[in-house]
Amino acid sequence: MTSFQILILVTVIIIVLLAAGMIVSFIIEKKMNLINRIPKKEKRKVNGEIVVFNKKRVSVGAILEKVLIYGSLLIFALWTIIPFSIVLSTSMKTWQEANQITFSFFPKQYDFSGYTKAILYNSTPFDTMIPDLVRGFGNTLLFVVPTTLIGLLTSSFAGYAFAKINFKGKKLLFGILMVSMLIPGTIMIVPSYILYDALGLSATPFPIIVPGMFGAAACVFFMKQFFSGLPNDLIDAAKVDGLNHFQIFWRIIVPLSKPALLAQGILGFVGGYNDYFNPNIYLTEPKYYTLQISLRQYAGTMSQQINSVMAGCIIVLVPVLIIYCVAQKYFVEGIATTGMKL
């Protein structure tokens, strides 16, 4: 068996054991239910008087359930952290050590030259002096940031209309929107390419930038759910003051929806930042390459220097990690409060 097959087998065994543990925990909890109903008396002295408190018993099943929950979370956390740790460790090795058949988790000799090579690598020195990853990062920001901001705005407009405005065909249109989420995006690849190619736009950034500016069905649904949790009394009071829907949206809805907007903005940006498929189809000139395409080209060229390739992966990953660490509080708040009555 290969190492990958062994890893999959171990994972399946762990999942089965966790499921069995949850079942045992449930059975124990049921049997201990009768004991839990009998309160345990505890005497405490309060202000010079002895007061009797009923202390809740902690069952074995509840403890076992907590252990299983945190154990499963720890396993899945390790499933994510270990590959990332391997990439980080390899990026700090010399290319000779990184290419060895036997793997060592900690580098015998720390070498950061792979990062220097990845940052300074330029495949077209005669056309431009800008390194590939730097140019790719600039192109990615140029393509993704306007698309994310404008797409978030249009999705928020649509979500507000579905949540707070009554109009004919509202339920039908929202149902069509929900059905469109079930259509795989791969179905539209060939028709979209034929359309853009007929318009002479297949080798330009247009197919990467413009379609996303019209919003996304998932974002519309998310914002609609969040706006539905806002009290209608705020809208009615604003109408009494003479505000129209655009003024209500900008002055009342947007300030109250910053966590949700930020959460969707992060998801949209990360999705565009990590997109490899669409740029690989439409972008044919190196001057238009996004960061993911530039990294793939670099990995193909430097395939013999694994440490440098891993360093390039870490460099590409750093901006997303910084964004998430800075906006983590608002991201979690925006996800958690969606659909709740505020």
| pLDDT by position in tens, the chain (length 342) | 555 555 566 666 666 666 666 666 556 555 555 444 445 555 555 565 655 555 555 555 666 667 777 777 777 787 788 888 888 888 888 878 887 877 777 888 888 888 888 888 888 776 778 888 899 999 999 999 999 999 999 999 999 999 888 888 888 999 998 888 888 888 888 888 999 989 888 888 999 999 889 988 889 998 998 888 888 888 888 888 888 888 889 988 888 888 888 888 988 999 999 999 999 999 888 888 999 999 998 888 887 888 889 999 999 999 888 888 887 777 666 555 554 554
Cα end-to-end span (Å), the chain: 54
* Nearest in space to 342 (alpha carbons), one of 247, 219, 253: 253
State which residues form the domain around 169. Answer: 116-336
Distant-in-sequence, close-in-space partners of 120: CB < 8 Å, separation ≥ 6:
131
| Same domain? 125 vs 82 | no
Residue 106 lies in a domain: no
**Which pLDDT does position 34 carry in this prediction?**
43
| Same domain for 177 and 84 | no
The pLDDT value given to residue 141: 93
How much is the pLDDT for 228?
87
Indicate whether 77 and 137 sit together in one domain.
no
Q: Is residue 97 part of a domain?
A: no
* Together in a domain, 248 and 296: yes
CATH number at residue 327: 1.10.3720.10
108 part of a folded domain = no
Q: Are residues 332 and 248 in the same domain?
A: yes
Query: Are 84 and 166 contained in the same domain?
Result: no
* pLDDT (0 to 100) of residue 62: 65
Same domain flag for 85 and 144:
no
Number of domains observed in the structure of the chain: 2
Nearest in space to 291 (alpha carbons), one of 133, 122, 147, 144:
133
Long-range contacts of 294-303 (CB under 8 A, 24+ apart): 294/132, 294/133, 294/135, 294/136, 295/133, 295/136, 297/123, 297/132, 298/118, 298/121, 298/123, 298/132, 298/133, 301/121, 301/123, 302/117, 302/121
Instruction: Note whether residue 100 is domain-resident.
Output: no
